[in-house]
Structure 1
Amino acid sequence: MKSNIPVTVLSGYLGSGKTTLLNHLLHNQTDWKIAVVVNDMSEVNIDASMVKQGRFKRTEEKLVELQNGCICCTLREDLIQEVEKLAAMDIDYILIESTGISEPIPVAQSFTYEDEEPGIHLGENCRLDTMVTVVDANRFWDDYASGETLLDRQQAADETDAREVIDLLIDQIEFANVIVLNKIDLVKSSDRDELKAVLHQLNPEARIVESEFSRVAPEEVLNTGRFDFEKVSQGAGWIKELNEDHVPESDEYNISSFVYRSKKPFHPERLMAWLENWPSSIIRAKGFFWIASRNDIAGLLSQAGTSLSIQGAGEWIAVLPETDQQEILAEDPELLTRWDDTYGDRLTELVFIGIEMDQKKIIETLDQCLLSEREMEEDWKTFADPLPEFTGDHPHDHS
C-alpha cells in the first residue's frame, strides 16, 4: 500500500460549481491516476477514454454519499472505509466531493483522528492536502441575506436539520485552504473585489482563486501541501482577531474588524434589546459573553447575515472546584493575566467583522448594556431575563 496519498476535499454550497470543478480537474490533470469519491456519480463526466487510460479508478461498491458529513454518524465510517480501499489501489491521488450541505470540519477530522475500528487510520496511508471551498460570486449576497434554512429550501439532511444557509456558507469559507471564487463573469469587477476583501476578512489564511465555469489551474487545488489541521482550525478571521492577531482592514471597501471586550456582565434585558436592533453593517460576529443572570455559564454568540444564535459554552473556570481551577491555570498560565480576584475568568470577548461599521457607536451602545455600578451590588438573579435559554450543540453544530 502506498503511503501518504494526497487528498483534496471539495466543498461549497449547492450550485456553486463544485462538480464543474471536479470535472475540470479530471479532464485537465494528466499526470496522476485519480480516484474519486462523490455524492452523485451521474453528475461527474467520466468518459471511457479516461478509464481506458487508467486515469480514473473506483471501487465496485457504491460511492459514498456524504449527506450532512457529520462524524458522529455512520457516514463517517463509510467514508473512512471507502478511502482505505482506494488507498490500497494503484492510484496517485484521491478527490472527494462532499455534498453541497456538508460541513468541511468533520470530513477533515476523518483524516486526522484514528478510527475506532482496529487497523483503520487514514493518516497512515493518506495525507489531507487541500480543503477547497467553491463560492458562487453571483449568489453569495442573496444567500447571505435570505434568512432561509436548508429545510426552507428542501435541502436539509433530515427533518431535524435546522441549519441556516448562511451558517453553512460561513462554515465552508472559514475552514478552507483555498477559496475558489467562481462565476466572476456574472458580477461587476467592483463587486467581485469587494467580495474578495470580505472573504479575506472571514478567512485571512486562505488563498482566493478567481474562476469562470470553475476553470482553475490544477496546481491551485491539487498537491498544494497547504493543509494543516491546527492552522486551518485557527484560521478564521474571528479567531485571529480574538487572539489579538489583527486582520488588516480593507480601506477601499471600508471592511474592518475589532474585538469588544468587557469585564462587567451584561444586563439581560438591555442585551436582548441590543440584539433585536442588530446593526446591519455587521456581517459576521462570534465570541463569548458574560450575562449577569446566568453567572455560572459562558455564552457563545454567533452571527452571520440574518442568522443569530446564542448558546451555552460551558461553565466558567471560576465556577469549578479549587483543585480543578488550579490544574487548568497551571496548564494555561496565560489565563492568570486576565484573572479577576472576584469574578475569575468571566468576561465578554466578541469579534465583529463588517462593512462601514460605526465601531465607536457599537462599543458605546454595548457599554450601555453592561451593569451599572449600582446594579453590580444587587442580586443578579432577580433581573428579568428575556433571552432565549442556552442550549448545547445541535447535531450539526461543530463550532
Structure 2
Amino acid sequence: MDNEVLVEKQADFKIPVTVLSGYLGAGKTTILNHVLNNRDGLRVAVIVNDLSEVNIDAALIQKEGGLSRTDEQLVEMSNGCICCTLRGDLLREVERLAKQERFDYILIESTGVGEPVPVAQTFTYIDEEQGIDLSQFCRLDCMVTVVDAYRFWHDYSSGETLLERSQGAHEEDHREVVDLLIDQIEFCDVLLLNKCDLVSDKDLNELEGVLRTLQPRAKLIRTEQGKVDPAEILNTGRFNFEEASVSAGWMRELNAPVHTPETEEYGIGSFVYVRAKPFHPERLMRWMEEWPEAIIRAKGIMWLATRSLQAQSISQAGPSIQFGPAGLWAAALPESEQHLLLEEEPELADSWHPMYGDRINKVVFIGIDLQRAEIEASLDQCLLTKEEMQQDWDSLMDPFPQSQQEACAIN
C-alpha cells in the first residue's frame, strides 16, 4: 500500500520553479550562487538567460561550483530574452528538463532587462503555437525581484532608455530603464532589497517604504552580498497569477472602495484624484511638462474633452510619462452593449452620469512629501471651466498625438 501511495505521489509531482528577475547589476547571480551553495541537497536545474552571445552569468555560476556536474544541469540561454525572442526556447527547455525526472527544482535567472509577466505566463497558460503545457510538469512557486538598494534612485531618475545604455533586447527596444524597474517591482512574490550594506539606515528605510507602497503584497527582505535564506525563495508556495496581477500598489488604491491613508513614515504617501469632469488638453499637457518631482508613481485613466469616445491611460514612473488611448468609455458603446455591461458590472450604475455616463478622471499618485491639496488644485485648474463645458469641445487645442493608435511619451 505504501508503494502505491508513493507511486501516486510521484505521478502527481510537479517540479517547482523560482524565477529571479531584477535589473542589470542588482545581484541576481550572487544570490543564485548563494542559494546553490546552501540548498540542502536539492537536485537543481538552473537556466540562466543573458542577452549577450557569451553568457557571463552562466560562466560565473560554473566557476563558483554551485552545481554538481553529475546530478545537476546548467542551461545557458544567450543572445535573446526569455520574455520575448527566446520564449519558445524556454518552453522547450523547461519541458525537456522536467521530463528527465532527475530534478527536484528549477531555478531561472532572467536577463536583467526581462519583464516578469511574460515569463510567468509561460508557466501559467498553454502555448498553442508550441503545443506545450508546462503546467503538466511544473508549478511556478515564486517570482523574485532583486532591487539594487545602492543604485535604485540613480537608475530610477536617469531618464535613459535601455538602447541608450546599449542594453536593449533588440534594435526596436525603446523601453525606459525606470519603466522596467517598476514592472519588475510591481509583479513579484518576494522583493530582495540587495546591497543594503552600501546604504545608510535612513535612506534604506525610506527606500523600503517606497517599495512597500509600490508593491504591498510581496514579502520584502533586506540582503547584503546576496545572502538570503533559500527557504525564502524556494518551495514557498507564494505564486498566484491572479493575485500577482493585481498586487501593484496603484491598482489596490484604484480599486479600493475607500482610501484609508496609512501612516506616512518618511513622508511616503498616496491619494486618488477623482473628478467627473474632462480635462482641457492644452492645459493638461502643460501640467505634465511641469510634473511635480514628489510624485514617484502615477497610474490611472483620464478624460480628455477632445476625445470623448476613448478613455486615456496615464502611467508615470520617474521622468517617464506614458499617455495614450485605453479603450472606449462604456457610454460610447451602443445602448444594447451598455445594458449588457451594466448588468455584468452593476457598480457602474452607481456613478453613471445622465449625460456623460462612466466618463471620469481617476488617477493614483504615490510619492514622497506629496502636497495633495496643491496637486489637486493645480489639476483642477486643467479641467474645463463652466463656460468651456458649454462650448464645442472639438474646437479646443489638443497637443496630444492625433492618432488614437499611438501613445505619447512626455519627458
Structure 2-normalised TM-score?
0.90
**2:306 aligned partner:** 293
- Structure 1 pair 68–261 and aligned structure 2 pair: CA distance change class (3 A): farther
| Cα displacement (A) at 1:64 | 2.9
Equivalences for residues 202-221 of structure 1 within 5 A: 202-221=214-233
| Cα displacement (A) at 1:50 | 3.7
- DSSP-derived class of the 1:294 partner: coil
> Aligned partner of 2:95: which letter?
E
Runs of at least 5 residues in structure 2 that lack an aligned partner in the other structure: 1-10, 50-54
Equivalences for residues 54-65 of structure 1 within 5 A: 54=71, 56-58=72-74, 63-65=76-78
**1:14 aligned partner:** 24
- Structure 2 residue corresponding to 1:223, chosen from 215, 218, 235: 235
- Structure 1 pair 108–23 and aligned structure 2 pair: CA distance change class (3 A): same
Runs of at least 5 residues in structure 1 that lack an aligned partner in the other structure: 395-399
| Cα displacement (A) at 1:77 | 1.4
| Cα displacement (A) at 1:125 | 1.4
- Native 8 Å contact 2:143 2:190 kept in 1: yes
Equivalences for residues 317-332 of structure 1 within 5 A: 317-332=330-345
**1:44 aligned partner:** 61
- Native 8 Å contact 1:131 1:227 kept in 2: yes
C-alpha separation in 1, matches of 2:318 and 2:294: 10
Pairing 1:152–2:170 present: no
C-alpha separation in 1, matches of 2:59 and 2:70: 20
| Cα displacement (A) at 1:185 | 0.5
Identity percentage over the alignment? 54
- Structure 1 pair 133–248 and aligned structure 2 pair: CA distance change class (3 A): farther
C-alpha separation in 1, matches of 2:273 and 2:406: 24
Pairing 1:190–2:202 present: yes
- Native 8 Å contact 2:216 2:248 kept in 1: yes
- Native 8 Å contact 1:69 1:103 kept in 2: no
- Structure 1 pair 318–157 and aligned structure 2 pair: CA distance change class (3 A): same
C-alpha separation in 2, matches of 1:198 and 1:167: 16
**1:397 aligned partner:** none
- Native 8 Å contact 2:88 2:130 kept in 1: no
Pairing 1:363–2:347 present: no
- DSSP-derived class of the 1:343 partner: coil
- Native 8 Å contact 1:288 1:300 kept in 2: yes
- DSSP-derived class of the 1:64 partner: strand
| Cα displacement (A) at 1:156 | 0.5
C-alpha separation in 1, matches of 2:194 and 2:144: 12
The size of the alignment, in residue pairs, is 388
C-alpha separation in 2, matches of 1:18 and 1:105: 18
- Native 8 Å contact 1:194 1:253 kept in 2: yes
| Cα displacement (A) at 1:119 | 5.0
C-alpha separation in 2, matches of 1:341 and 1:254: 40
C-alpha separation in 2, matches of 1:195 and 1:302: 21
- DSSP-derived class of the 1:146 partner: coil
C-alpha separation in 2, matches of 1:393 and 1:128: 35
- Native 8 Å contact 1:23 1:45 kept in 2: no
- DSSP-derived class of the 1:110 partner: helix
- Structure 1 pair 247–109 and aligned structure 2 pair: CA distance change class (3 A): farther
Structure 1-normalised TM-score?
0.93
